[in-house]
Structure 1
Amino acid sequence: MALAFDSSDGDYWKEKVISGGDTEKGDVDYDDELELNQFDGLPYSSRYYKLLRERKTLPVWGARCDFVNTLVSSQIIIVSGTAETGRSTQIPQWCAEFCLSVQYQNGMVVCTQIHRQNTVELALRVADEMDVNIGHEVGYSIPLQTCCSTDTVLRYCTDDMLLREMMSDPLLEQYGVVVIDQAHERTVSTDLLLGLLKDILLQRPELRLVILTAPSSSDRLLHHYSDVPLLRLEGPQPSEVVYDSGKEGIKDYLCSTLRLVLGIHHTQEPGDVVAFLATEQEIECAYAILRREAASLASSLGELVPVTLYPEKNDSVPMPAEEENTCRRVFLTCSPSEDLFWAVRSIRFVIDAGVQMRYVYNPRIRANSIVIRPISKSQAESRKQLIGPTGKCFCLYPEDTPLPAESVPHILESDITSTVLFLKRMEIAGLGHCDFVDRPDPEGLMQALEELDYLAALDDDGNLSEIGIIMSEFPLEPQMAKTLLASCEFDCVSEVLIIAAMLTAPSCFLTPPVALAHEALQCHRQFQHVDGDHFTLINIYNAFKHAKQYLCCSLEQWCEERFLSLPALQTADAVLSELTDTLKRIELPISPPAFGSKTNTANIKRALLAGFFMQVARDVDGSGNYFILTHKHVAQIHPLSVYGTEAPKQSLPEWVIYHKHTLSENNCVRIVSEISPYEFIQMAPQYFFSNLPPSESKGILQQIIDHGSAAPCKGKKKPQTMDSTATEEPSYERCVIQ
């Protein structure tokens, strides 16, 4: 029968669970009325009972009674265990039952994840286990996609989506239980949630917070929340782990990985392989070698299929079709997270290089550096769990290697300008305090505040200005949000929307095999624009939209022939729609398209400089060595740029604006467009210009301000101006939006 809850303290729910309230299919008398689903009032299906038997075999099930008791009596619970314990699927369901027991008086349940695809897959699995329809009682929200309704009682969402919700619901009043999953990953968004929820819990005593984390992070969280209840889950132990016998580990782990993969395929039983490498370059190299080796393997061994998985480009593992079940897939990834593979039951072998790549932001030079470092103990243990009870894990490092207990929190190594903008917005909403688990670096915090001040997002008292409030409405980095606002003034909104969408989505350029590299370059050149890469992105998007509307061939074929990524372009299309809706909601004007005219080109550059004036560089010697004005570093333009390695040296622009600079082996600036010094002077705030370190480039700009002209450097053309009147009577008024 349907359950009738009338207790406000959860006693009935607790009693039902402790007494074993779930009913097995064999216990149902089909001559009587079938037991009804407590969430939708319909009879349970036979599949529900089948899945229930599977659920009861999970390690987390043994802790159900303890969890129930603790949830009723405590406001915060920390649950320590690995993903293989079943914590991510079962605990949110029990929280939903808890909220149902009090008639949802305090709200529903939300469970955060860090990967979009995991969010969707968990919601689908839990809806199946609860015997309800996805999008109704169980739903999900990820960037650019929401599958929920007014009936939703349990919602999975990415951590950044829950933060966006807090802008309109700062106390999360629609939720009775907040579940923070994968807290040990320490993403910036998860750390923000952990810090803000500490304040929210004080204002909402009825709210429950459940934190799911790995064993290595539990002590740190216990200290942060002052010794709250902790439930420890014991997961299955890996059957066999093989460590490197050397004292210093394997230095050439890429070659060792490839040898192991081929050895496994020749001698071991069927099963997929996951190889954790460090960089995308290693993945590409391994993929090419395995493809070549697989072509020469004997058919009796079965097919060997390498699969590349890049972090941030694709966070889902492709499921095999039925006809592919006989092949052995080799997943090559440099993702630091093993949670991508939680649902892949065919994995039998793991090869762990024991190192990872991290982007570490340097606030002094406003650039990321690529750092290769050891993985944490938590990551190492989680990777071993992937093999299940019958697999084998090969660790390419000695067993006594001193791995760090935890990974460095992302908030300590990231550009936190967007984070500070969000926290300033939360101050307006009444959440003035964020008790960080690990406080951001003071230098990074000061740089973020300085940058927001340059962007006119802060007033004289350090609070959000009107411009800052509008900037925070957009799911964009602050510089791009400021650029979009400036485009409203310069009547180029349609074009800047495309640029913002294309730069927010993953790169649309596919990396082809070496044999097709020249052909791909030729295809990409047809989209290149003389004024720079930002304009090239507009060309690509417009061509994609034209193909979508008018061409007879499929979009997959169109993109494949041009070495473009269809998922990336579809994501850009969705981002553009979301940004357009935001502009309409806050009643900002959207100018009609005018791409191609000289006025429109100049206006786009003005809008870009309004947000990215801190990212300007000058070619100091005419050979492509670009001096970055803010921190005196010299970088080159990325080879795939309009001004890349194959461009004639005499055609290189002297002054450029760029989107991204990463200090790595190639030390390149990416997404580069030509500007003139007059445009820079007009758009950069005076106090930013004054704070630039002394240099020859700054001297040239100062000479333009003082005298209205500049002596061109030897071998360089005189900087072009925005229009015919700029040389005769340059105007140095700052942009109105400043």
Structure 2
Amino acid sequence: MSEGNNSASEPDNYLESEECPVEDSFGFGDDLELNQFDGLPFSSRYYKLLQERKTLSVWRVRCEFEDALVNNQLVVVSGTAKTGRSTQIPQWCAEFCLSAQYQHGMVVCTQTDRRQAVDLALRVADEMDVNIGHEVGYTIPLETCCSSDTVLRYCTDDMLLREMMSDPFLEHYGVIIIDQAHERTVSTDLLLGLLKDILLQRPELRVVVLAIPPMTDKLLSHYGSIPLISLEASSPAEVVHSNSGNKDYFYSALRLVLEIHRTKEDGDVVVFFASAEEVHCAHSILQKEGTRLGAELGQMVPVVLCRGQEEPPPVSTEQQGSKRSRMVFLSTQKGEDMWWPTESVSFVIDTGVQKKMVYNPRIRANSEVLQPISQCQVDLRKKLSGPSGKCFCLYPEDSQLPAETTPQILESNITPTVLFLKRIEIAGLGQCDFIDRPDPEGLMQALEELDYLAALDDDGNLSEIGIIMSEIPLDPQMAKALLASCEFDCVSEMLTIAAMLSAPSCFLEPPVGMTHEAVQCHRKFQHPEGDHFTLINIYNAFKQSQREQYFSAEKWCKDYFLDHSALKTAEAIRSELTDTLNRIELPISEPSFGTKSNTHNIKRALLAGFFMQIARDVDGSGNYFILTHKHMAQVHPLSSYGAQSHKLGLPEWVVFHDYTLSENNCMRTVSEISPQVFIQMAPLYFFYNLPPSESKDILQDMLDPDGSSKSKNEKQKAATVSSSDDSGGGAVVPLTYDRCVIQ
């Protein structure tokens, strides 16, 4: 990260206050010329950065924090990213562990965003005057930069959670810092719940939680009598509210950006939109509008800055150095507490809404909802530009907003969470003490789904296959499909499918006027058996482009309107999954893609995991009936079936990877299946719990063409069928039948 991108350490002008002398902290020696972490003399840059660090508001509470850390197992710190909490507190914790000669372990600091974890590690290594990857490192999905010398490590919260599979009591660490706890990700909430039990088992462990109100109040209530250290934050900016509703918030925000630019007032702009789609659309519009502005106004440079970006947005040296250029950062919800790349923000435009995917356990699908942001997010946005800036809120001042961000665990499919918790129970860790307990209906649905996947035994504990599934870093359904592929000799192909579906979409949004060309290019990869097979075609073609010396893979992707970074991510995920299968000694078959038997086996493996996601075209025109919850859906327009339907017709029975209850109710990643194979692969006790329908009757006739008494007896032994519940949520049944062909 460049020196110009050090937002959290280029502080507001706080007055320097008294502090703990560095040489006295935790009993260190008197020689300040030597770095206590690597034994080398400090560079001149260290002292320059030290002076900057001392002006951060977090520095004022250094003595108070160090004292609390020595005398308490758990400390809560309240303050935003602009206070310097995420860079300074981990360093003081590293000094604390050093004073104990690391006998209790090193320091780990979690982040909710992978890019932020990397940026913070780079900045802190610079401040500590050590090399990144040595004393300070980071771990994010698919990338690790650490060594045996690492004493302070930044990582994403999901990666620390995954470490608990092999180290359930996190004995490798002496201090665990949970940053951005107020963002309420599933992984952070799990860590906060599990650490309560771990602290009882490890009295020497220290946990520091960094959050903002009202989350800090919840933490104090959850953990009991613990110290709270509050940091001073910059005063909020001048706030201007809109008196009209925010129905037209998107174009209102864009017009406001252009108005600000025309005033020629100094300062960059941050705009918060509802979704990443809106961000990219706004970027395209502002780029066009920017070319029409007069040269006397200076350059306006829109920059996409969304959570989860693989790389920071490209900003040219010319753009950075131009006095007249204005950066317009376009972000989404939960971007308020990010590691911002500039301190020059003078204007914040807040649309006040966010698009979220909320999981409905009754229909086993996400619903896209547009809802207001929380008051907690509003307060963070108001402070982004500092007291001298302006915050434009595109909603009335008296708008009724929820006080805090809704925990993701209340809005997500918690089946992977339940699988993880079942796994760590084996290691002897107690129950997770959730700050906000998951919905009972969602919990029951998760247990039912794991039961259908044969991940649970008769006592409700993890079965052998469940233990193996928990080792694979995939959602349970995909993990089961991958395990089934070992039985059906199509592991290579299923690894590719799993990797491509875990990575971001490989299809690029074509430039204006190039849609037809993009469709024609994508059509070259389409496979008649469906989208899962099309993904294999794309991946294999991408690998072929890498092998051909005379051809650039980047150029090949560009020519075919494919996302090179997404395909590289899929390649890395596939490699990680291959390593996992090798580690747990599962067989990996040789690739045989294209043969008839291989095609049949891929579908069998897919159905072993995704038998709950089956639909039937009820009228031959693409109106698909989803058997589990009786909703109607369409094939997504970008599906190979969507493109070929006018030529080949649509298949009657399909398996799909994803379904979203939204305006179009589309199924994504769809492939044709045989109903006979579905009957073979689906557990009978799942089949009999399907709600009644014409489609189920057709399957029933295939299963029992003669109406034999044997089948009738089996049906009677099965659990009670939900006769009228459209949600398809029947009771969990006795485990009378084989759950699946693969055991």
Runs of 4 or more off by more than 4 Å in structure 1? Answer: 309-312, 732-735
Q: Which runs of 5+ in 2 are unaligned?
A: 1-17, 25-29, 708-736
Asked whether the equivalents of residues 623 and 649 of structure 1 are also in contact (C-alpha less than 8 Å), the reply is: no
Superposed displacement of residue 533, structure 1: 0.4
Are the structure 2 counterparts of residues 74 and 262 from structure 1 closer, same or farther at C-alpha, using a change threshold of 3 Å? same
Residues 435-494 of structure 1 show CA distances to partners (whole Å, capped at 9, x for unaligned) of 000000000000000000000000000000000000000110000000000000000000
Provide the rounded CA distance (Å) in 1 between the counterparts of 2:338 and 2:664.
Answer: 29
The corresponding residue for 1:455 is 453
Letter in 2 for 1:436: F
The corresponding residue for 2:668 is 670
Within the alignment, does 1:324 sit opposite 2:325 as a pair? no
**What TM-score do you get using the length of structure 2 for normalisation?**
0.90
SS in 2 for 1:340: coil
Asked whether the equivalents of residues 45 and 131 of structure 1 are also in contact (C-alpha less than 8 Å), the reply is: yes
Are the structure 2 counterparts of residues 374 and 177 from structure 1 closer, same or farther at C-alpha, using a change threshold of 3 Å? same
Provide the rounded CA distance (Å) in 1 between the counterparts of 2:255 and 2:19.
Answer: 52
Farther-moved stretch of structure 1 (368-377 vs 643-652)? 643-652
Letter in 1 for 2:194: L
The corresponding residue for 2:732 is none
Superposed displacement of residue 511, structure 1: 1.3
Farther-moved stretch of structure 1 (338-347 vs 35-44)? 338-347
Provide the rounded CA distance (Å) in 2 between the counterparts of 1:309 and 1:614.
Answer: 37
The corresponding residue for 2:725 is none
Asked whether the equivalents of residues 491 and 589 of structure 2 are also in contact (C-alpha less than 8 Å), the reply is: yes
Are the structure 2 counterparts of residues 624 and 65 from structure 1 closer, same or farther at C-alpha, using a change threshold of 3 Å? same
Provide the rounded CA distance (Å) in 2 between the counterparts of 1:426 and 1:735.
Answer: 25
Q: How does 1:9-24 map to 2 (within 5 A)?
A: 19-21=20-22
SS in 2 for 1:644: helix
> What is the aligned counterpart of 2:545 among 540, 547, 566?
547
Q: How does 1:61-76 map to 2 (within 5 A)?
A: 61-76=59-74
Asked whether the equivalents of residues 273 and 347 of structure 1 are also in contact (C-alpha less than 8 Å), the reply is: yes
The corresponding residue for 1:652 is 650
The corresponding residue for 1:183 is 181
Superposed displacement of residue 18, structure 1: 6.0
Within the alignment, does 1:306 sit opposite 2:311 as a pair? no
Provide the rounded CA distance (Å) in 1 between the counterparts of 2:333 and 2:554.
Answer: 26
SS in 1 for 2:330: strand
Provide the rounded CA distance (Å) in 2 between the counterparts of 1:303 and 1:531.
Answer: 50
Provide the rounded CA distance (Å) in 1 between the counterparts of 2:122 and 2:107.
Answer: 16
> What is the aligned counterpart of 1:286 among 277, 282, 285?
282
Superposed displacement of residue 400, structure 1: 2.9
Asked whether the equivalents of residues 309 and 333 of structure 1 are also in contact (C-alpha less than 8 Å), the reply is: yes
Aligned-residue Cα RMSD (Å) equals 1.9
Letter in 1 for 2:413: D
The corresponding residue for 2:107 is 109
Asked whether the equivalents of residues 527 and 540 of structure 1 are also in contact (C-alpha less than 8 Å), the reply is: yes
Provide the rounded CA distance (Å) in 2 between the counterparts of 1:343 and 1:101.
Answer: 34
Superposed displacement of residue 275, structure 1: 1.2
Q: Which runs of 5+ in 1 are unaligned?
A: 1-16, 24-31, 710-731
Farther-moved stretch of structure 1 (336-345 vs 494-503)? 336-345
Provide the rounded CA distance (Å) in 2 between the counterparts of 1:369 and 1:209.
Answer: 36
Asked whether the equivalents of residues 116 and 339 of structure 2 are also in contact (C-alpha less than 8 Å), the reply is: no
Farther-moved stretch of structure 1 (255-264 vs 603-612)? 255-264
Residues 583-612 of structure 1 show CA distances to partners (whole Å, capped at 9, x for unaligned) of 111110000010000000000000000000
Identical columns (%): 70
Within the alignment, does 1:266 sit opposite 2:262 as a pair? yes
Asked whether the equivalents of residues 183 and 334 of structure 2 are also in contact (C-alpha less than 8 Å), the reply is: no
Provide the rounded CA distance (Å) in 2 between the counterparts of 1:451 and 1:735.
Answer: 13
Letter in 2 for 1:20: P
Superposed displacement of residue 521, structure 1: 1.2
The corresponding residue for 1:378 is 376
Provide the rounded CA distance (Å) in 2 between the counterparts of 1:673 and 1:98.
Answer: 56
Superposed displacement of residue 645, structure 1: 5.7
Asked whether the equivalents of residues 624 and 649 of structure 1 are also in contact (C-alpha less than 8 Å), the reply is: no
Superposed displacement of residue 241, structure 1: 2.2
Asked whether the equivalents of residues 317 and 340 of structure 1 are also in contact (C-alpha less than 8 Å), the reply is: no
SS in 2 for 1:647: helix
Superposed displacement of residue 371, structure 1: 1.2
The corresponding residue for 1:275 is 271
Farther-moved stretch of structure 1 (103-112 vs 337-346)? 337-346
Provide the rounded CA distance (Å) in 2 between the counterparts of 1:65 and 1:659.
Answer: 53
SS in 1 for 2:22: coil
Provide the rounded CA distance (Å) in 1 between the counterparts of 2:518 and 2:449.
Answer: 38
Superposed displacement of residue 311, structure 1: 4.5
Residues 115-147 of structure 1 show CA distances to partners (whole Å, capped at 9, x for unaligned) of 000000000000000000000100000000000
SS in 1 for 2:513: helix
Q: How does 1:590-605 map to 2 (within 5 A)?
A: 590-605=588-603
Superposed displacement of residue 391, structure 1: 2.8
The corresponding residue for 1:9 is none
Provide the rounded CA distance (Å) in 2 between the counterparts of 1:409 and 1:75.
Answer: 25
Q: How does 1:88-167 map to 2 (within 5 A)?
A: 88-167=86-165
The corresponding residue for 1:736 is 741
Letter in 1 for 2:358: V
Farther-moved stretch of structure 1 (486-495 vs 227-236)? 227-236
SS in 1 for 2:641: coil
Are the structure 2 counterparts of residues 140 and 82 from structure 1 closer, same or farther at C-alpha, using a change threshold of 3 Å? same
Provide the rounded CA distance (Å) in 1 between the counterparts of 2:208 and 2:739.
Answer: 50
Are the structure 2 counterparts of residues 341 and 139 from structure 1 closer, same or farther at C-alpha, using a change threshold of 3 Å? closer
Superposed displacement of residue 55, structure 1: 0.3
Superposed displacement of residue 322, structure 1: 1.5
The corresponding residue for 2:194 is 196
Are the structure 2 counterparts of residues 607 and 53 from structure 1 closer, same or farther at C-alpha, using a change threshold of 3 Å? same
Provide the rounded CA distance (Å) in 1 between the counterparts of 2:358 and 2:237.
Answer: 36
Asked whether the equivalents of residues 658 and 670 of structure 1 are also in contact (C-alpha less than 8 Å), the reply is: yes
The corresponding residue for 1:334 is 332
Asked whether the equivalents of residues 161 and 187 of structure 2 are also in contact (C-alpha less than 8 Å), the reply is: yes
SS in 1 for 2:88: helix
Superposed displacement of residue 358, structure 1: 1.3
Provide the rounded CA distance (Å) in 2 between the counterparts of 1:342 and 1:284.
Answer: 19
SS in 1 for 2:52: helix
Provide the rounded CA distance (Å) in 2 between the counterparts of 1:57 and 1:33.
Answer: 23
